[in-house]
Structure 1
Amino acid sequence: MILHTTDNAVLWITLNRPAALNALTPDQRERVIALLSDASADPAVRAVVITATGRGFCTGADLRAGAGDGGPGRGDGDGDGGPGRGEGGGDAQPPRHAAGGGESDTRPTERGTHGGAAGTRPTERVVGDVARMIRQGAQRLIAAVMDCEKPVLAAVNGTAAGLGAHLALACDLVVAAESATFIEVFARRGLVPDGGGAYLLPRLVGPHRAKELLFFGDAVTAADAERMGLVNRVVPDAGLEKAARDWAERLATGPTRALALTKQLVNASLDGDRGAAFAAEAAAQEINMTTADAREGVASFVERRRPTYRGR
Structure 2
Amino acid sequence: MKMADYKPRHFNWRVEGTVAVMSLDRPERKNPMTFESYAEMRDTFRQLSYADDIKAVVIASNGGNFCSGGDVHDIIGPLLDKDMKGLLEFTRMTGDLVKAMNAAPQPIISAVDGVCVGAGAMIALFSDMRIGTPAAKTAFLFTRVGLAGCDMGACAMLPRVIGQGRAAELLYTGRVMSADEAERWGFFNRLTDGAQLEAEALKLAQQLVAGPTFAHMMTKTMLAQEWSMSLPMAIESEAQAQAICMQTRDFRRAYDAFVAKGKPVFAGD
User: What TM-score does the superposition give when structure 2 sets the normalisation length?
Assistant: 0.90
Q: Which residue of 1 aligns with 2:227?
A: 270
CA contact (8 A) 1:16 1:52 kept: no
Q: Which residue of 1 aligns with 2:31?
A: 22
Q: Secondary structure at the match of 2:268?
A: coil
Whose RCO is larger (CA < 8 A, sep 6+)? Answer: 1
Describe the superposition over 1:21-48 as per-residue Cα deviations: whole angstroms up to 9, x where unpaired. 1111122122222322333322221111
CA contact (8 A) 2:33 2:119 kept: no
**Identical pairs, percent:** 31
1:247-262 equivalent positions in 2, closer than 5 A: 247-262=204-219
CA contact (8 A) 1:297 1:307 kept: yes
> How many Å separate the matches in 1 of 2:263 and 2:246?
19
How far the C-alpha of 1:108 sits from its partner, in A, is 3.5
How far the C-alpha of 1:129 sits from its partner, in A, is 4.3
2:15 counterpart (6, 27, 40): 6
Q: Which residue of 2 aligns with 1:177?
A: 133
> How many Å separate the matches in 1 of 2:229 and 2:78?
34
Q: Which residue of 2 aligns with 1:60?
A: 69
1:107-146 equivalent positions in 2, closer than 5 A: 107-109=79-81, 111=82, 125-126=83-84, 128-135=85-92, 137-146=93-102
How many residue pairs were aligned? 259
Q: Does 1:246 align with 2:255?
A: no
Describe the superposition over 1:222-253 as per-residue Cα deviations: whole angstroms up to 9, x where unpaired. 11100011110111111101211110110111
Q: Secondary structure at the match of 2:73?
A: coil
Pair 1:106–1:297, CA change in 2 (3 A): farther
> How many Å separate the matches in 1 of 2:40 and 2:252?
36
Q: Secondary structure at the match of 1:186?
A: helix
Q: Secondary structure at the match of 1:196?
A: helix
> How many Å separate the matches in 2 of 1:171 and 1:138?
15
How far the C-alpha of 1:289 sits from its partner, in A, is 2.2
> How many Å separate the matches in 2 of 1:301 and 1:234?
34
Q: Which residue of 2 aligns with 1:294?
A: 251
Long gaps (5+) in structure 2: 1-9
Q: Secondary structure at the match of 1:56?
A: coil
User: What TM-score does the superposition give when structure 1 sets the normalisation length?
Assistant: 0.78
Q: Does 1:285 align with 2:247?
A: no
Superposition misfits of 4+ residues, deviation over 3 angstroms: 105-108, 128-132
Describe the superposition over 1:139-195 as per-residue Cα deviations: whole angstroms up to 9, x where unpaired. 111111111101110011221111110100111110012101101111112211311
Match for 2:204: what amino acid? W
> How many Å separate the matches in 1 of 2:48 and 2:79?
34
CA contact (8 A) 2:138 2:177 kept: yes
Q: Which residue of 2 aligns with 1:148?
A: 104
